[in-house]
Structure 1
Amino acid sequence: MQLPNFDTLRDLAEQQPEELEALRQRHIAALITRSNPASQRRLKGLQFQIDGLRQRHRHPLAACIKISSLMKQSARDLLAELHASSAPHRASKSAAIVPFNTRK
Structure 2
Amino acid sequence: MSGKLKNFGGIIVLLAVGTIYLSTYIVDKTQYAIEILLGDPVDIVLEPGLNFKIPFVTRIIFMENRLQDYDADPGAVFTKDKKEMKVDTYSKWRVSDPLKFYETVRTT
TM above 0.5, one fold? no
Q: Which has the higher contact order (CA 8 A, sep 6+)?
A: 2
Pick the structure with greater CA Rg: 1
TM-score normalised to the size of structure 2?
0.27
TM-score normalised to the size of structure 1?
0.28
* Richer in strand (by share): 2
